[in-house]
Copies of this chain bind each other. A is one copy, B any other.
Amino acid sequence: MPSASVFIATSLDGFIARPDGALDWLPVDCEPHGYDEFMATVDAIVIGRKTFETLLTFDAWPYGTKQVVVLTSRPSKLAIPDGAVCDVMSGSPQDVVARLAERGMKHLYIDGGVTIQGFLGAGLIRRLIITRIPVLLGGGIPLFGSLSRDIRLEHVATRTYPSGLVQSEYLIVD
């Protein structure tokens, strides 16, 4: 089975975007904090429709020719940008992981609030790398959601950066 990781920035109060999806609160001039190194290990990025639509508002498709998998229950509705390597899938997190395993993928990057929560709830996330931005937003799209039981984590490492970022890495232990 492929290993699945989350690499995401949140506000100190746990939001990954404002209520309308805006990311204006993310620092534009912060130092590198491991994203490129992480991405170099990733075989495919798995996101939901909402995150996909947010990406479409960017000036350029941010993932180059990296394999992206967009999860949606209405596959026919999605328009894939030119040059992007995007597959559209529907199905449970388990189904999606199984299909990507058949393609030989070993490391999946799970992104977007709903998708992360679905994969977490299904027990399919192995590693969380969370970068805290030093701001309180007071509301927005939360990284985490409800769970049917506690999920215990093992703290692997925490790195701090001069701009105030605090990045903690956890493994899921049960």
A residues in contact (CB < 8 Å) with B = 12-14, 25, 120, 128, 130, 132, 134-139, 143-155, 157-158, 160, 164-166, 168, 170
Contact = CB atoms under 8 A, between A and B. Distances in A.
A138 B166 contact: no
Contact of A164 (B12, B14, B154): B154
Contact of A170 (B130, B134, B139): B134
A132 B12 contact: no
Contact of A144 (B136, B155, B170): B136
Contacts of A153: 12, 134-136, 164
For this chain, the copies found in one complex come to 2
A139 B142 CA distance: 12
Nearest to A143: B13
22 contacts: A12-B128, A12-B153, A12-B170, A13-B143, A13-B144, A14-B14, A132-B168, A134-B154, A135-B151, A135-B153, A136-B144, A136-B153, A138-B145, A138-B146, A138-B147, A138-B150, A139-B147, A153-B164, A154-B164, A157-B160, A158-B160, A166-B168
A154 B161 CA distance: 12
Given A14-B13, A14-B14, A144-B13, A136 B164 contact: no
